[in-house]
Amino acid sequence: MDMFWCLPLTLLLLHQATCTNDRAEVTRATGRSVTFFLKNLDGEAAAWSFHDDVIVTVKFGNPPEAIFLDQKYKPRLTFPKNGSALTISQLTRDDAGTYTAKTSGIKTTFTLHVYRELAVPTVTCTTQNCSADGCLYTLHCAASGSGYGNVSYSWSMGDLPWREGPMVVVEESPPGEPPPLLTCMARNPVSSHNTSVILPAALCAGAYSSRWAGIVVTSLIGVGLLLAVLIFMICYKSKGWRIFSLPAAEVRNVEAVPEYATVYAQVGPSQQLCPQSVSNAQQNDAKRSPTPSKTVYFTIQSMGQTDDEKMGNGALGCQEQDEKTIYSLVS
């Protein structure tokens, strides 16, 4: 039954010639509610549109009968005064725009503006300039966040209005005189908040102390990293570490044959591969004239051994090393 009268009535209201076009602008904060009132109640119903899209039709009465064409509005719309008004609750920024109510021969337009309420503004010190005649402090007032619309700032000194705008320059009070109370007021279309500053000198001193502390910490970190790199390089050179690169052909051969293995060793005068093959005289010569350590690179291929070969490993250790060594590089 509702749909039977709703669709013909909606088409009639939308296409009927309009004799009156009333307009109104309304501003609200997010989370609040707004009510649009119809002044003229000619006809039996009203069709409400948002941005020219019909969202609901309401038949006047007690209670009013509403048919929603856009179901997402249903939880937040009510129709007080027997359907002659529309209330939207829990407003969001997306609800801002133009709403139109059409009745018999009458069109009423409501423009809704929705803004966030301001946060309490914060006053910061941007610069300070001191000389023999005193100090000048530049203070900046701002409310953090977005969605506030047009925000205006004003300053008062004591109880008297003083400056307009977010930034002011304050002169240091003469010795013996108490500093005046400075207050910044921030306003937007739905709210206003203020904050006060008693001692601009203390505010600026704290700001500059924080900046210098940040600079010092950053410098110390940079110096620490530089020292760590230098210590690493000194240790790297003192231990004689070197990196050797095989020719491309040899690298491919090593990768292709799984039985090859790579061994690194650092050989000095006290590290002898075959001490039993060195004479006592040669050992004494090595002790008297120490030679620098050498880094030896071996590529060794595992080879199968018979039982007889395993039994002779103790006597032929040096000889086997020479046989298994395929590639060596000494630097």
DSSP labels for 35-64? EEE-S---SSEEEEEETTEEEEEEE-SSS-
Helix (H) or strand (E) holding 217: helix 200-238
Nearest partner of 294 among 242, 246, 237, judged by Cα: 242
Average pLDDT over residues 194-216: 68
Say whether 269 sits in a helix, a strand or coil.
coil
Count of CB atoms situated within 10 Å of the CB of 126: 12
Give the model confidence (pLDDT) of 20-39 as tens digits. 568 999 999 999 999 999 98
Q: What angle do CA 69, 73, 2 make, to 5 degrees?
A: 40
Which residue is associated with the tokens 């690194």? 264
Question: How does residue 7 score in pLDDT terms, banded at 50, 70 and 90?
Answer: very low
Most confidently modeled of 221-230, 249-258, 304-313, 315-324? 221-230
Count the residues in the chain: 331
Q: What percent of the chain has pLDDT over 90?
A: 44
Amino acid identity for residue 118 in this structure: L
| pLDDT at 301 (0 to 100) | 53
Question: How does residue 180 score in pLDDT terms, banded at 50, 70 and 90?
Answer: confident
Largest Cα separation within the chain, whole Å, is: 128
Q: Mean pLDDT over all residues of the chain?
A: 75
Pairing of strands 134-142, 294-301: unpaired
Amino acid identity for residue 121 in this structure: P
pLDDT at 255 over 70: no
| pLDDT at 230 (0 to 100) | 77
Q: How far is CA 120 from the centre of its chain?
A: 23
| pLDDT at 20 (0 to 100) | 55
Question: How does residue 241 score in pLDDT terms, banded at 50, 70 and 90?
Answer: low
Question: How does residue 177 score in pLDDT terms, banded at 50, 70 and 90?
Answer: confident
Give the model confidence (pLDDT) of 65-83 as tens digits. 999 999 999 999 999 999 9
Pairing of strands 97-103, 106-115: antiparallel
pLDDT at 315 over 70: no
Span of 185-189, 230-234, 248-252 with lowest mean pLDDT: 248-252
pLDDT at 294 over 90: no
How far apart CA 41 and CA 44 sit, in angstroms, is: 8
Q: Going by C-beta distance under 8 Å and a sequence separation of 6 or more, which residues neighbour residue 238?
A: none
DSSP labels for 84-121? TEEEE-S--GGG-EEEEEEETTEEEEEEEEEEPPPPPP
pLDDT at 258 over 80: no
Average pLDDT over residues 108-127: 96
How far apart CA 67 and CA 31 sit, in angstroms, is: 25
| pLDDT at 305 (0 to 100) | 54
| pLDDT at 182 (0 to 100) | 94
pLDDT at 208 over 60: no
- Sign, CA dihedral 17-20-21-24, equals negative
Amino acid identity for residue 282 in this structure: Q
Strands, DSSP E only, in 116-243?
122-131, 134-142, 152-157, 160-164, 167-171, 182-188, 191-197
pLDDT at 234 over 90: no
Amino acid identity for residue 74 in this structure: K
pLDDT at 322 over 50: no
